[in-house]
Amino acid sequence: MNPLDQVAFLEMRNITKTFPGVRALDGVSFDLQKGELHALVGENGAGKSTLMKILGGVYPYPEYGGEILIEGQVQRFGSVNDAAQAGIAVIYQELSLVKEMSVGENIFLGREPRTLGVIRWEELYRRARQLLDDLHLAIDPHTPIHNLGIGQQQLIEIAKALSHNARILVLDEPTAALTGAEVETLFGIIHKLRARGVGMVYISHKLEEVFRICNRLTVLRDGQTVGTRPTSELTEAQVIAQMVGREVGDIFPAVHHAQGDVVFEAKNVCVNDPNVPGKSLVKNVSFAVRRGEVLGIAGLMGAGRSDLLMAIFGAHAGRFSGEIRIAGHAARIAGPADAIGLGIGFVTEDRKRFGLVLDQTVLNNMTLASLKRISGRFITNVDAEAAACESAAKELHVKARSVFAIAGTLSGGNQQKVVLAKWLLTKPRVLFLDEPTRGIDVGAKQEIYSEINRLAKSGIAIVLVSSELPEILGLSDRVLVLHEGRVTGEFTRAEATPEKVMACATGRALAA
Ligand SMILES: Nc1ncnc2c1ncn2[C@@H]1O[C@H](COP(=O)(O)OP(=O)(O)OP(=O)(O)O)[C@@H](O)[C@H]1O
Ligand SMILES: [Mg+2]
């Protein structure tokens, strides 16, 4: 036997990391074999991303305690580049592509093929094309990133990591924004890489996936390792109990929403495609929502669900046509400020782009949309603001040192809660929620579900877009299904079944 086979390919020993006031990692040990897929799970804020940032050189030696070994050799990465040189590629939870640049430029950013300093564009795009082909991605490498959906951007990040010939690949929540088909593409890629001997760390809140593809699983809780076991020896329930330290009961609270008058109506909404003249992303969609009602909008990625909500919210000015009525009155929405003024709140799917200012405090982020309401006309009432935010943060169990913590320092799931809190502070009449639980752990999901029910009970009309069918079915009073920009089905809570909704979402119901 090769002596090297007895040492773990990668070993992280007794890792500690503190931030001002927070002990993020407290003696964590973790190892990875060649060709292994090792899941790293835990609640929001457990320390998963931090551990992988240490591996990726984001927190260089000696900004952490403990040791990193590859094939038995101690590694001390001074930078992200050092880690990349050692064959480590990390795909972070918050995507880091440059929106204004093309797919190809992003993949080779800083490593462009050059002759005498001049970039060889043809070569760059040819190699980008190759990488994309390898992943079976039908995306033109010349496409600017901002024209791609968040799911496609995720796959571009993976192409970029592969261009480095990584031996260790870390995927932090890789499927949070992917459609079913994209997930299968990703799993295909993962299998291929595993066969090549690449070791992979897979961070996910979707335990079903973890059990499907991972060999071993490590649970972190509050910065400590709870345990590492082969997935075949564990059940989902055991893992959840280890993650949260308690049993999680029925995740969808049973409720009956008392519905009032129609408060929001959209008629014949059309949204044009910015890239293809004459093409529509949303075609003649009409719907109404009552006070206290939760309207779920189901559909596959690219069905036009987000575009529909964004357009109504005034974010697609110039590409939108249709009529909006709020509380029976025709409304003119020329931009998001008008929408907010009319009482519409919007938790967007892409929190980095539309939801959060990462280098500002939690407090500033929460009050961004509601400054006028909390403060007087011109003077900001700091105490009132802080008090309102503190109670919102407490209600949603936001894990942060205080409301003065910088938003970018919160874990991914906690950032999402801040976005939700921000809109709740605007006291909206109508609340649009687009993938509100993306990247959120089971315990926190349950809290957000109760919050949605509480908001509906208080009379807010809610429009919920989610790719998780159980979420749509568990929360909605009525379900609207979109397929390629059109409404292909509508069901009451009692009528909606996963089969019926999926048939409409895939367009199969049309043929019948
Ligand atoms: N740059 C930072 N400054 C201060 N605190 C930080 C920073 N980065 C992370 N933390 C804190 O460290 C802890 C662990 O965060 P981390 O992002 O590793 O969690 P996570 O397990 O990845 O959670 P999630 O599932 O929500 O992504 C959290 O309490 C977080 O607020
Ligand atoms: Mg994380």
Ordered DSSP codes for 175-240: TTT--HHHHHHHHHHHHHHHHTT-EEEEE-S-HHHHHHH-SEEEEEETTEEEEEEEGGG--HHHHH
Do the domain assignments include residue 253?
A: no
Residue 482 pLDDT > 50, yes or no? yes
- What residues sit around ligand 2, an ion, with C-beta below 5 angstroms? 49, 93, 411-412
Do the domain assignments include residue 498?
A: yes
Which one of 244, 274, 304 terminates a domain?
244
- The pLDDT assigned to 250 comes to 66
Phi, psi of 43 (to 5 degrees): -65, 170
Least confident of 103-107, 208-212, 465-469: 465-469
Phi, psi of 450 (to 5 degrees): -65, -35
Quick check: CB of 415 below 6 Å from ligand 1? no
Tell me the pLDDT of the chain averaged across its residues.
88
Do the domain assignments include residue 249?
A: no
Do the domain assignments include residue 146?
A: yes
Interval 427-446 mean pLDDT: 86
- The pLDDT assigned to 343 comes to 93
486 within 8 A of 283, measured Cβ to Cβ: yes
- Cβ of 388: how many Cβ atoms within 10 Å? 21
Q: Which domain holds residue 187?
A: 3-244
Ligand 1 closest atom vs CA 439 = 25
Least confident of 58-62, 96-100, 291-295: 96-100
Residue 26 pLDDT > 50, yes or no? yes
Distance 172 CA to ligand 2 centre (A): 7
pLDDT range class, residue 3, cuts 50, 70, 90: very low
CA distance 328 to 400: 41
Name the nearest CA neighbour of 162 among 109, 107, 114: 107
Are 240 and 296 contained in the same domain? no
Quick check: CB of 45 below 6 Å from ligand 1? yes
Are 268 and 203 contained in the same domain? no
Quick check: CB of 411 below 6 Å from ligand 1? yes
- The pLDDT assigned to 248 comes to 58
Ligand nearest to the CA of 41: 1
Angle formed by the axes of helices 236-244 and 442-457, nearest 10°: 80
CA distance 36 to 202: 10
Quick check: CB of 49 below 6 Å from ligand 1? yes
Are 271 and 224 contained in the same domain? no
Query: From atom 10 of ligand 1, which residue's Cα is the shortest distance away?
Result: 409
Which one of 179, 209, 244 terminates a domain?
244
From residue 198, how far is each of 89, 108, 167, 187, 191 by CA, in Å?
Answer: 11, 21, 5, 14, 10
pLDDT range class, residue 6, cuts 50, 70, 90: low
105: amino acid identity, one letter: E
Are 67 and 187 contained in the same domain? yes
Are 222 and 280 contained in the same domain? no
Do the domain assignments include residue 116?
A: yes
Residue 159 pLDDT > 70, yes or no? yes
Sign of CA dihedral 324, 327, 328, 334: negative
How many domains does the chain contain in total? 2
Are 377 and 506 contained in the same domain? yes
Interval 338-348 mean pLDDT: 91
Quick check: CB of 272 below 6 Å from ligand 1? no
CA–chain centroid gap for 157, Å, is 14
Distance 468 CA to ligand 2 centre (A): 20
- The pLDDT assigned to 113 comes to 92
pLDDT range class, residue 105, cuts 50, 70, 90: very high
Are 226 and 295 contained in the same domain? no
Are 290 and 233 contained in the same domain? no
Do the domain assignments include residue 251?
A: no
Quick check: CB of 466 below 6 Å from ligand 1? no
CA distance 21 to 30: 24
300 within 8 A of 483, measured Cβ to Cβ: yes
Are 286 and 146 contained in the same domain? no
Quick check: CB of 437 below 6 Å from ligand 1? no
For 355-400, what is each residue's pLDDT tens digit?
A: 788 889 998 888 877 655 544 444 566 777 788 888 888 888 888 8
Interval 177-203 mean pLDDT: 87
Quick check: CB of 50 below 6 Å from ligand 1? yes
Distance 319 CA to ligand 1 centre (A): 39
Residue 1 pLDDT > 60, yes or no? no
Residue 249 pLDDT > 70, yes or no? no
For 298-336, what is each residue's pLDDT tens digit?
A: 987 778 999 999 999 998 888 999 999 999 999 999 998
CATH number at residue 267: 3.40.50.300
Are 233 and 299 contained in the same domain? no
Contacts (Cβ under 8 Å, ≥6 apart) of 191: none
Phi, psi of 65 (to 5 degrees): -105, 155
Do the domain assignments include residue 122?
A: yes
21-26 long-range contacts, CB within 8 A, separation 24+: 21/401, 22/401, 23/223, 24/50, 24/223, 25/50, 25/51, 25/54, 25/64, 25/223, 26/222, 26/223, 26/224
Are 333 and 482 contained in the same domain? yes
Q: CA 387, 392, 395: angle at the middle one, nearest 5?
A: 125
Which one of 209, 244, 279 terminates a domain?
244
Are 61 and 29 contained in the same domain? yes
Quick check: CB of 410 below 6 Å from ligand 1? yes
Distance 48 CA to ligand 1 centre (A): 8
Do the domain assignments include residue 254?
A: no
Residue 261 pLDDT > 70, yes or no? yes
